Amino acid sequence: MQSFVNYKNIPISYSDFGKGSVVVLLHGFLENSSMWNSIIPELSKKNRLVTIDLLGHGASGNIGYVHSMEEQAMMVKAVLKALNLRKFTLIGHSMGGYISLAFAQLFPEAIKGLCLINSTFENDSEERKKLRARAVKMAHTDYENLVRMSFTNLFAEESRLNYTSEIKKGLTEAFKTSLQGYIASQEGMAIRQNFADLFKNARFKKLLILGKKDMVVDYESTIKFSKKNNIPTVGLSEGHMSHIENSVELLEALKKFITKF
């Protein structure tokens, strides 16, 4: 059931399912907690799941025009504190992964494990920063088409044909992201830190789940990093939206990961 907490005088939406070891699910950019709907029934059988709408997404409010990963992480901490939760596993998709890493840097004692799905520990390249700046400029004049293009391009080319109904549903949720939330998230992702050393050296349990056709996260370089640093990795066949494009394989990987706790 959807509930709310107050964070810096804005509403933050969250939901709480099941009992057991706590797993916090953080969605990506242009998503909200609904992205986990197909995963929650199975994972909540033996675990307590908490899903949170990130700043500017879903039913959560905005704070200014820059939502840094650290601000997002502090918001997540406020929700978990309100629930009296002290130790948990974080699972983050895309931007949710960046926020999970920022959380791990700010509150390392709270982390039992961290799984990045279609996400990276690296910061933006200069080229990526320029693309974000261009998107922010376009958002002021043609927001609907920008969201449609940004969301659709997250899928592998073949998936755009194979998952038309899922993409349509996802777009409905993407349009719930406010213009301010879009801009603030793009600005926040552009200034995020490089968390490679933190992720490499962290003592908590880790897992990387990657898409071989992901246009956002470089599969080859990330695999090379994970092998060099003995980080468990699962490679899936499709693109950036593994919860849709590789839903069965993703669920199995997550079940194996959280059974370790």
99-147 residue pLDDT tens: 999 999 999 999 999 999 999 999 999 999 999 999 999 999 999 999 9
The total domain count for the chain is 1
Alpha carbon distance 206, 188 (integer Å): 24
pTM over 0.75: yes
Range of the domain at 11: 2-258
* Residue range 197-202: mean pLDDT, rounded: 96
Max distance between CA atoms of the chain, in angstroms, equals 48
- Non-local (6+) Cβ contacts of 149 within 8 A are none
β-sheet bridge partners, residue 10: 7
In whole numbers, what is the pLDDT of the chain averaged over residues?
A: 97
Write down the pLDDT at residue 233. 97
Take residue 35 and report the two structure tokens written for it: 């992205």
Q: How confident is the model at residue 1 (pLDDT cuts 50, 70, 90)?
A: confident
Specify the CATH number for the domain of residue 184: 3.40.50.1820
d(CA 45, CA 125): 40
User: Which three-class secondary structure state does DSSP give residue 192?
Assistant: coil
CA distance 67 to 79: 17
In the chain, the percentage of residues whose pLDDT exceeds 90 is 98
Evaluated on CA atoms 194, 228, 247, 36, the torsion sign reads negative
Residue 260, pLDDT score: 67
Reply yes or no on whether the pLDDT at 215 is more than 90.
Answer: yes
